[in-house]
Structure 1
Amino acid sequence: MEWRPWLRRWSDEWVRSAGPEADPEVARTRWLGFAPAAEQAVAAAEARIGVRLPPAYREFLLTTDGWRDAGMFVWRMRDTSDIGWLRDLEPYWDDGWAELCEDEREGTCLSRGLLISREADAGILFLDPGSVDDSGEWAAYSLFSWRAEPPERFASFTALMEDLYAEFHRMRKPEGGTRDSWDAKVEQARLDALAGDADGADAVLAEAEDFGLERATVLRAQLQVFVGRPSGHSLGRLLHSDFVPAGFLADPLFTEEFLPLLFAQHAECSLPGRNSQLQMAMNGNDPDLHLLVGAYQARIRNGERPMTYGNPEFDGLIRDAVDEHGAEPDALWRDIDAAFAHWRPRTRDHIAPVALLADPAVTAALTPERRRNLLSRPRGDRR
């Protein structure tokens, strides 16, 4: 990590997103950090705690002795004058949270931790000298009591800072080069997915989601659902009131692909005390969703078949296949296999035939291997 240019970009984006709320000094200098620590100050801190600091954190301090607004919930990080052992500075964290630490080494990450945060929203950042990689980097952790979860582990201090930076982007959505870069990566991931590289696209989209790009969530949900990993990327996230982009519920990608699937999953959800994704979404107060679901239910009650499998040519081929081989999964798969060359996206962001999964007969024919087979094929405008 070249700390200065990266931290300078972070500072500039933060100032622009904060507007009048920005600290006057930060707004004037456009720098969330402070003056660099002298080598002597770092050495003195190491002598005081009795251990040499890991390389990345050491270089960070030599770039800025402290930091403001690390993510959205850490308002000030410690500097060379007051970093210290967590057990000495804030021992109650180890007392209250140690049982959640999965650690087979002597002590826990909390009892060994070096506290590097000073002011935060009921949370801490710390480094663990008991977990060191081949390059000498210590594992890093964040822990916030209101999350009611074990400490979150990162491979290094750099990885922790990158996560905090992504959190800032996810919540503030600052305009600028970083955002533009991720927009371009998401578009390339869309093209890669249509070209058959589902795994590569998924990896990029997962990172883009961390930065709060809603389009990445819409695209990735299709890949995750189609390969059978709804628990890894819940459909409910698409319907959360804090997420739904303007116009998404009226988009054919939702009305013709995701909504039929939500109804199909609801019909299969028979466990007592467990709500379907559709039920959980309907517990919200989105009037557009309520109207949409009500209209869909009315069409079903009127004897209509409101779902289609895709674009007209593909839909016709799949309907014929289901009518002829609906009870024969292998025969139905052969027809789906042959028909897939005629599949086309309904919209620009449509990258997977999610609507197929709304039909139990088709779902039975689509084994995990067959689903991956379909996603590995170039399709749409990438054929």
Structure 2
Amino acid sequence: MKYILKEISRLAIPEDRWNLLTDEQIQTEWLGKPPASENEIKAAEDRLGVAFPADYKDFLLIANGFSAPNDIEPGFEPADRVDFLKNIDPFLVEIWNETELDERVDLERSIVVAGIDAEQYFLLVPPLPGAVNWKYLKFANWIPGSIYYENLEAYFRNVLHFMQKHSK
């Protein structure tokens, strides 16, 4: 996953048209923050009452936060900022609960790991009782429905593919 994140970072630097990246990010060609410690990850899990999926823990051990590489992808939050969507954006959850769409169940249980204070979120959805697999999804009001991914690496591969296709 680190290679993919490095490639995303490398492609994002020249595309920073709003000058949002720091000098350090530009010089190092790295959008990630310093890695989280095992204790920081455990504290976030304890606070939320979950055990994160292995790939998300691996991500946090690479980068405890990752700046948005473009204006359609969310920036990933440090472990101490992730929280349930119902705590971050209760109105959004309330509105979706009034629908019959499948997303409403996932949104109510989801954890925002990217996009706090942004137009789009990347969410982890804990497994239902008796299930083992987490769900990974990107959600934005401007996207018709949600975009589900097999895992976190699949999401980052998708971001990288988009950036390779659309970079200058």
TM-score (norm 1): 0.39
Aligned to 1:72: 71
CA contact (8 A) 1:112 1:130 kept: no
1:94-119 per-residue CA deviation (whole Å, 9 max, x = no partner) reads 1223426326xxx7000010111234
Q: Which has the higher contact order (CA 8 A, sep 6+)?
A: 2
CA contact (8 A) 1:87 1:111 kept: yes
Which AA in structure 2 matches 1:82? Answer: R
1:7 correspondence with 2:2: no
Aligned to 1:57: 56
- From 120, 125, 128, the equivalent of 1:128 is 125
In our comparison, the structure showing a higher alpha carbon Rg is 1
Question: Which structure 1 residue ranges, 4+ long, deviate > 3 Å from structure 2?
Answer: 16-22, 118-121
Distance (Å, rounded) in 2 between the aligned partners of 1:165 and 1:143: 18
Distance (Å, rounded) in 2 between the aligned partners of 1:75 and 1:65: 14
**Secondary structure of 2:115's aligned partner:** strand
Give the number of aligned pairs. 165
Name the structure with the higher helix share.
1
Superposed displacement of residue 70, structure 1: 4.5
**Secondary structure of 1:94's aligned partner:** helix
Which AA in structure 1 matches 2:101? Answer: C
Could you tell me which runs of 5 or more consecutive residues in structure 1 were left unpaired when the two chains were aligned: 175-383
Which AA in structure 2 matches 1:143? Answer: F
Superposed displacement of residue 71, structure 1: 4.8
Which AA in structure 2 matches 1:34? Answer: K
1:34-74 per-residue CA deviation (whole Å, 9 max, x = no partner) reads 10101111111111111110011110001100111145323
- From 116, 132, 138, the equivalent of 2:134 is 138
Distance (Å, rounded) in 1 between the aligned partners of 2:70 and 2:18: 19
Superposed displacement of residue 12, structure 1: 1.5
CA 22–158 in structure 1, closer or farther in 2 if over 3 Å, else same: same
Distance (Å, rounded) in 2 between the aligned partners of 1:111 and 1:146: 19
Distance (Å, rounded) in 2 between the aligned partners of 1:28 and 1:40: 29
Superposed displacement of residue 19, structure 1: 7.5
CA contact (8 A) 1:123 1:142 kept: yes
Aligned to 1:164: 159
Report 1:250-329 matches (<5 A). none
CA contact (8 A) 1:68 1:77 kept: yes
**Secondary structure of 2:67's aligned partner:** strand
Superposed displacement of residue 4, structure 1: 1.9
1:48 correspondence with 2:44: no
Aligned to 1:150: 145
The root-mean-square deviation of aligned C-alpha atoms, in Å, is 2.6
Superposed displacement of residue 129, structure 1: 0.7
Aligned to 2:92: 93
Superposed displacement of residue 139, structure 1: 1.2
**Secondary structure of 2:46's aligned partner:** helix
CA contact (8 A) 1:72 1:168 kept: no
CA contact (8 A) 1:71 1:165 kept: no
% identical equivalent positions: 19
Aligned to 2:112: 115
Distance (Å, rounded) in 2 between the aligned partners of 1:141 and 1:48: 22
Which AA in structure 2 matches 1:123? Answer: Q
**Secondary structure of 1:87's aligned partner:** helix
Superposed displacement of residue 121, structure 1: 4.7
Distance (Å, rounded) in 2 between the aligned partners of 1:76 and 1:141: 14
CA contact (8 A) 1:137 1:157 kept: no
Distance (Å, rounded) in 2 between the aligned partners of 1:118 and 1:95: 19
CA 165–137 in structure 1, closer or farther in 2 if over 3 Å, else same: farther
